[in-house]
Amino acid sequence: MADRIRVGVVGAHAERGWARGIHLPALTALDDFEIVAVAGTSGGSAQAAAAVWGAGRAYDDAHALLADPDVELVTVAVQLPRRDGLVEAAIEAGKHVYCEWPLARDAATAERFEAKARAAGVRHAVGLQSRHHPAVRLLRDLLAQGLIGEVLSASLLYSLSTPEVWSTRYAALFDRTQGVNHVAVVGGHSLDMFQYAVGEFAEVSATLTTRIDRVTMAETGERIEVTSPDQIVAGGLLRSGAAASAHFMTGGPRGDGFRIEVHGRAGRLVLVSSDDSLVDPRFTLTHATENGTPAVEVPVPDAYRPLLPGAPSAVSNVAQVYSDLATAIRTGDPSGPDFTTAVRTHRLLDAIRSTAEHGHRETLAP
């Protein structure tokens, strides 16, 4: 197609990684895009990635890819600690940007990215794709339609089993200063999904603690100190006035997975997945009325079918983000999740950290 949007991928790899497993099948399934360039950590790895990704050009320097006049959209798929300056450089080069989550280390930096993108007139997206799961979208719509009446409370519970032996590639996960720990990654993805369905937090307070204080690096056997929290408890009020809470439990044996429960004056909606991964969760939505009858499963209508039926949900959800971004690039209309979405989520995460440290309740700006 002559009008395909030409994509350059920073962080492409020939054999492994989130970009290889998720972005590549999403992009290649969509007629809106053509992958024209990739950037890797070396010339050899970039050439190998280009062969797999079907790209005509391979760069061992991400900034060289950003300078390529043929690239219209840059996908930044490298981890946050190795991403310094790339998002702003892409914006300054006049490229549209799809950036993986987390967008930044804090809300102030995310706000700066959003302001620069708006001033430059480039479209943007962020990898908070879980909100596009059909069952999550259905939950959001049923609440908006008033199926259970006025919402009184909403809770999120996520029990995530994790090993205590990790590859050194994931060492940053256990460092609270690196911005890719459980608060940012597990909390960010889950809380964006939660707020998308039930509404935004208006005020919050939180408790954070680290219960597993050391993990082992598989390659070396080294025991490293864990400074990032593995237990995250947050509570407060939504803008609607409903009470809300979230508890992320990581470590130990596998628990009950993911659960959102919403209580209303006229019933209850519960979204559950026994799978403790958000990559391909098997969500089930149930509805119970106020008269005490047993909960019944709510089937997901065909209108909510995933963009790529049969694909893992993460692939289909990412494809939906790309599809909406393509429309935004062509029309100038906003799409989501974008940098504005990221700012809202980063503000909530910053408030969770701040209230846990200082012991206060924080009001969140709309």
For 80, the domain range is 5-129+315-338
Find tokens 């006035």 and name the residue.
241
Amino acid at 265: R
* Residues 6 or more apart in contact with residue 334 via CB below 8 angstroms: 328, 340
55: domain CATH number? 3.40.50.720
Is the same domain home to 141 and 275?
yes
Is the same domain home to 150 and 266?
yes
366 inside domain: no
Sign of CA dihedral 109, 113, 114, 116: positive
Report CA-CA distances (Å) from 24 to 16, 21, 126. Answer: 11, 6, 16
CB 349 within 8 A of CB 183: yes
Spatial strand order of the sheet with 151-160 comes to: 296-297, 284-289, 267-273, 257-264, 151-160, 243-250, 231-238, 201-209, 362-363
Tokens of 259: 């659960």
Is the same domain home to 75 and 207?
no
100 inside domain: yes
CB 59 within 8 A of CB 66: no
Is the same domain home to 11 and 112?
yes
Tokens of 82: 């190795």
Spatial strand order of the sheet with 73-76 comes to: 57-59, 33-39, 5-10, 73-76, 96-99, 124-126
Is the same domain home to 104 and 81?
yes
Tally of domains within the chain: 2
pTM: 0.95
Is the same domain home to 219 and 241?
yes
**Rounded Cα distance, 330 and 65, in Å:** 22
Phi, psi dihedrals of residue 117, rounded to the nearest 5°:
-65, -40
Closest CA to 304 of 125, 128, 126, 131: 131
234 inside domain: yes
pLDDT per residue of the chain (366 residues) written in tens, 0 to 9:
458 999 999 999 999 999 999 999 999 999 999 999 999 988 999 999 999 999 999 999 999 999 999 999 999 999 888 888 999 999 999 999 999 999 999 999 999 999 999 999 999 999 999 999 999 999 999 999 999 999 999 999 999 888 899 999 888 889 988 888 999 999 999 999 999 999 999 999 999 999 999 999 999 999 999 999 999 999 999 999 999 999 999 888 777 789 999 999 999 999 999 787 888 889 999 999 977 789 999 999 999 999 999 999 999 999 999 999 999 999 999 899 999 999 999 999 999 999 999 999 999 998
